[in-house]
A and B are shown apart, each in its own frame.
Chain A
Amino acid sequence: MSRCERFERERDAASANDLAALHAHADACADCDAARRRRVAYDEVVGRAVAALDAEGELSAAAWVRVRDGVEAAAAPRRAWGWAWPVGIAAAAALAFVLVGRAQVEAPRVALSPSAPLASTSASPEGVAQAAPTLAAVDGPDHGDPQARPGEHLRTGAEARTVVAFGRHVLTLAPETDVEVVDWSPRAMVLRLRRGALDCDVARASADERFEVRSEGVRVRVLGTRFTVAVEGDGATGVSVEHGLVEVADAGGSTRLAAGQWDRFGGALSRVAPSGAPEVDSLVPGRAEAPAPASAGSSREPRGRRAPAVELIDIEVPDQRMERPAPEPPAATPPAPGGIRLIEIEVPPQRAE
């Protein structure tokens, strides 16, 4: 005896009237009733799958930086000869050695990439208006190169911009980014990321040189690596490290992030305690006693350990800049939520190998 397949056959194409008739048929037909129950269960499963899919997060703010890097890398001409690599690396190492040596003895220099001026050129009249005085102010008297002063802002509109500082640090501002200059000197580069994403390729010239990027509740301190800091939509700060190995340590344990991975910090600081959160400037590096906002929860749940008020993150980074590894999938290791965190990234000085 053949099985009735009317419900399966007609279900999707049925109009409202047809559907009523189909259900009436299914009420009387065991085969179609079973098919109907199966379809209901299937629809529920698919609905929950869609809900789970929708619950996945949006792209991180640093995604644009990765896309832009990928576009640039894809646009770069491919090398045809394998032997060119070691030769190129050796030449780059020699050049880096010379540049590092010069940077230690020369006067500080700040240069804006000629192909990428800071002034926004489209889509953001506000960016143009605000960037113009910055450009005027950063003209240096000695070398004709622009210099930035504390309190000035580096802003981008619709397009990303690259700034080369002291001939060594390459700062790339994603579109719609606002970076306040706290300190801009060859011995201390301190930037506050107000909005957007900032990609930093840092080349430290001496052991006591400081390079810091701050955002609300988060400080990223680096002595020589490549990393990205991004203020995300919910106020969290995303940090991604391109080279090295990151260990996130707190009272409850530690988590490692490999090169190319990223994590988010301070998710709800700006939302929960916009005025209660202490300024990062007031924090003393290495001390875990910064007051945390009482209810400053993170957008991510802790997994089995309690969040400290301040987290110390050590990033061990070998010498870099000679080659860039292919990006790895981002780590899925959530930081514990909580208040202000302090991130310290310490690496050996830049050396040319």
Chain B
Amino acid sequence: MSRAADTDEREALAAVPPFDAVYREQRGRVLGAVRAIIGPSDEVEDVVQLAFIEIHRCLDRFEGRSRLSTWCYRIAVNVALQHLRRKRRKRWLMLGITGDEAGDLALPVHSTRRLEDREILQKVYRAADGLSEKKRVVWVLHELRGMDPHEIAEVLEIPMNTVRSRLLAARRDLMQSLADMGIIPGGGRGESM
């Protein structure tokens, strides 16, 4: 193995914890990333499972060029986006019948406020469905996961200016969608076509 010859890389590899430990340490972040990207869904845990399978598959190739948490986050984001792509294809084939709606309704609600928040969440994701994948992932990571543009650039491996421009465009589009849905005030003339 070529990287075994390099002492530094060997040290980096030696620092990779076993998969059990990776799961324990990263499950919260992976869950957060997956849930933020695919939205409220019964499929979240399945996608987390897929993300960890991928993490396990690639763990021996982790070279320590980024933090393990960032690396895991990146994989979680990619797996979640892949899931969304599959779901979109499936939704198209099934003419919009996804079954998720029923699952959403079945989730427990403990208060009116939480019910309202949940409805808002669903509407926000419905609006976010109209964004391109590139805009969506940046918007989700920033607005829903609270990551700053620098972190997003690191996770997605794109320039920070690209993150900023995508974020602005995503926010503008999303505000327009939310205004069209009557959730926030409209912007006067038809801006943000």
Name A residues whose Cβ lies closer than 8 Å to a Cβ of B: 3, 8, 12, 31, 34-35, 37-39, 41-42, 45-46, 48-53, 55-56, 58-60, 63-64, 66-67, 70-71, 74, 122-123, 158-160, 175, 300-301, 303, 327, 329-334
Contact = CB atoms under 8 A, between A and B. Distances in A.
Contacts of B53: 67, 70-71, 74
B116 to A, nearest CB: 7
B185 interface: yes
Nearest to B47: A329
Contacts of A160: 20
Contact of A74 (B27, B45, B57): B57
B124 interface: yes
Interface stretch (B6-14, B36-44, B69-77): B36-44
A272 B191 CA distance: 55
Scoring B21, B43, B117, B178 by chain A CB atoms within 10 A of each residue's CB, the highest score goes to B117
B11 to A, nearest CB: 19
Given A41-B184, A52-B121, A64-B23, A332 B42 contact: yes
Contacts of B106: 332-333
Given A48-B117, A56-B40, A158-B20, A63 B175 contact: no
Contacts of A52: 40, 114, 117-118, 120-121
Nearest to A158: B20
B28 interface: yes
A169 B28 CA distance: 32
27 contacts: A31-B188, A34-B187, A34-B188, A37-B185, A38-B184, A38-B186, A42-B171, A45-B120, A48-B121, A49-B120, A49-B125, A50-B144, A52-B120, A53-B40, A56-B40, A59-B31, A59-B48, A67-B52, A71-B19, A71-B52, A71-B56, A158-B18, A158-B20, A158-B21, A301-B108, A327-B49, A329-B43
B110 interface: yes
Contacts of A64: 23
Contacts of B110: 301
B168 to A, nearest CB: 7
A38 B175 contact: yes
B185 to A, nearest CB: 5
Nearest to B106: A332
A175 B42 CA distance: 25
Contacts of B175: 38-39, 42
Contacts of B183: 41, 45
A3 B185 contact: no
B65 interface: no
B35 interface: yes
Contact of B189 (A3, A8, A45, A334): A3
B21 A46 contact: no
B153 interface: no
A96 B20 CA distance: 32
A332 B107 contact: yes
A330 B143 contact: no
A248 to B, nearest CB: 14
Contacts of B57: 74
A51 B36 CA distance: 12
A334 B108 contact: yes
Contacts of B117: 48-49, 51-52, 55
A58 B31 contact: yes
Given A71-B53, A301-B110, A123 B21 contact: yes
Contact of B18 (A159, A300, A333): A159
Contact of B49 (A46, A63, A158): A63
A59 B20 contact: no
Contacts of B179: 38
Given A49-B121, A58-B28, A71-B53, A42 B184 contact: yes
A63 B45 contact: yes
Given A49-B125, A332-B106, 8 more contacts: A41-B185, A45-B184, A52-B118, A56-B35, A63-B45, A70-B53, A74-B53, A160-B20
B129 interface: no
A12 B168 contact: yes
Nearest to A67: B52
A333 B46 CA distance: 17
A37 B175 CA distance: 12
B129 to A, nearest CB: 14
Given A49-B120, A63-B27, A55 B114 contact: yes
Given A34-B188, A70-B52, A330-B42, A49 B124 contact: yes
B46 to A, nearest CB: 6
A56 B144 CA distance: 13
Contacts of B191: 3
| Complex A-B, nearest 6 residue pairs according to Cβ-Cβ distance, in ascending order | A41-B184, A52-B117, A52-B121, A332-B106, A329-B42, A49-B124
Contact of A175 (B24, B28, B168, B184): B24
